[in-house]
Amino acid sequence: MNPSSPRKAFHVFRLINVAGPFFGLILVLGLFSLNSEVRPYLYTGGNFKIILTQTVIVAVGALGMTMIIVSGGIDLSVGSAVALTSVLGATLLVKGCSTSATVVLTVLAGGLIGLVNGLVIAGFRMPPFIVTLGMMGVLRGSAKWLAGNQTVNIPSSAPLNHLMALVSPTQLFPLPPGVWIAIGLAVVVSVLMRQTVFGRYIFAIGSNEATARLCGIRVPLQKVLIYALAGLLVGLAGLMQLSRLTQGDPTVAIGLELDIIAAVVIGGASLNGGTGSILGSMTGALIMAVLRNGSNQMGWQNFTQEIIIGIVIIIAVGLDQFRQSRLRT
């Protein structure tokens, strides 16, 4: 028997493992370009700028969600948290806070929400699904209460609006600052998850909590930190939402958490915990944005998009299961 053959096969499997979501992205782009009317517009710099800008909020949310899902948890309160933080940011601006103070306070508010999630989940050993489902209602209600059941408009001249503004819309560059922030954060969180002890512990807890405890990891503390950190990112996503609409809307981002979870899962993470990557989740977020964008240009109705995205999620996870079962002997 050739001793190198199993090893080679092993590396091929690993490559597919890492590159899987990329193939998905290329496939989706390729499929849309089959249509000769869509093709010339789809591949313009301006269109990619739109796609990237549309991806940003889901992508920033997916950074935190990846940490949470890899640790074996879930967060259903993200959409409501984005609405609440965007209303909070708008209210602060309207009340006369400086831009920098608003940014800091809003991001910290997001962190506080995550901290509460983490404390309840770790402190009372409650299932994250239930805790964050409850928080989804609490936060949505709070957002409506804070906004007085209406939108909070901020002045169109507010510097915060530049975060997501599309300058020179026919070219790829300059990209809105929000896109660069998302890319930078993706690199930071990716390094955090792959190369630091904190990050390795996230994988350990998600893979087997009992092992993590056996190996001296302080699981509750670690969980609180994960949810708090993810919360900070959600606060930032709330600011981006505010910038995109130039208003704080308490009814915005309904179902956003499901888009984010879908992006993470398409990117190869398992809801059982222990596997997943930032690169995968970002690709997953892009796949969803490209699907939306392409469907719009095909002139497909909203319901068609929803059906297609639903099917893509099922196919992506189905392929993943298939791959996993092939890997196992």
Partner 1 sequence: MFDQLMNAATFTVPRLRMSGVRKSFGATRALKNVSFEVAPGEVHVLIGENGAGKSTLMKILSGAHRPDAGAVELEGKPFVPANPLHARRSGVAMIYQELTLAPHLSVEENILLGEEPARFGWLNRSRRRELARQALAELHHQNIPLDATVNSRSIAEQQIVEIARALIGQTKVVIMDEPTSSLTQADTENLFAIIGRLRQRGVSIIYISHFLEECQRIADRFTVLRDGESVATGDMAKADLPQIIQWMVGRPIGEIYPRFPHHRGKPVLEWRALAGRSKPQAASLTLHEGEILGIAGLVGAGRTESLRACFGLECIRSGVVLVRSSEATHRRPGQRLAGGVGLLSENRKAEGLMLNRSLADNLTLTRYGPLSRFGFIQNSRQRQATREWMDRLDVRAQDPGQSVSELSGGNQQKVALGRLLHHQASVFLLDEPTRGIDVGSKAQIYKLMGQLAAQGKAIIFVSSYLPELLGVCDTIGVMCRGVLSEVRLADQWTEHRIMAAAIGQASPAAA
Identify residues 225-244 at the interface with partner 1 (CB under 8 A). Answer: none
Handedness of CA 317, 53, 240, 245 (dihedral sign): negative
User: Which one of the spans 6-14, 41-49, 70-78, 109-117 is the region binding partner 1 (CB under 8 A)?
Assistant: 6-14
Total of chain residues touching partner 1, rule CB under 8 A: 33
Applying the rule CB under 8 A, the residues between 7 and 26 that interact with partner 1 are 7, 9-11, 14
Residue type, 279: L
Q: Does 327 bind partner 1 (CB under 8 A)?
A: yes
CB nearer partner 1, residue 73 or residue 250:
73
The gap from C-alpha 222 to its chain's centroid, in whole angstroms, comes to: 20
Q: Does 215 bind partner 1 (CB under 8 A)?
A: yes
What minimum distance in Å lies between the beta carbon of 9 and partner 1? 4
- Of the candidates 325, 313, 264, 304, which has an alpha carbon nearest to the alpha carbon of residue 64? 264
Rounded least distance, CB 57 to partner 1, Å: 29
Using rule CB under 8 A, residue 5 touches partner 1: yes
**Per rule CB under 8 A, is residue 211 in the interface with partner 1?**
yes
- Interface pick for partner 1 out of 74, 204, 232, 287 (rule CB under 8 A): 204
CA atoms of 317 and 323, how far apart (whole Å): 10
Burial class (CB in 10 A: 0-12, 13-18, 19+), 153: middle
| Cβ burial 250-266 (10 Å sphere, 16+ → b, else e) | bebbeebbebbbbbbbb
Residue 48 or 198: the one with the smaller Cβ distance to partner 1 is: 198
Nearer to partner 1, 16 or 105 (CB): 16
Question: Which of 156/329 has CB closer to partner 1?
Answer: 329
Tokens of 119: 């404390």
**Residue 34 interacts with partner 1 (CB under 8 A): yes or no:** no
Residues engaged in binding partner 1 (CB under 8 A): 1, 5-7, 9-11, 14, 191, 194-197, 200, 203-204, 207-208, 210-211, 213-218, 270, 274-275, 326-329
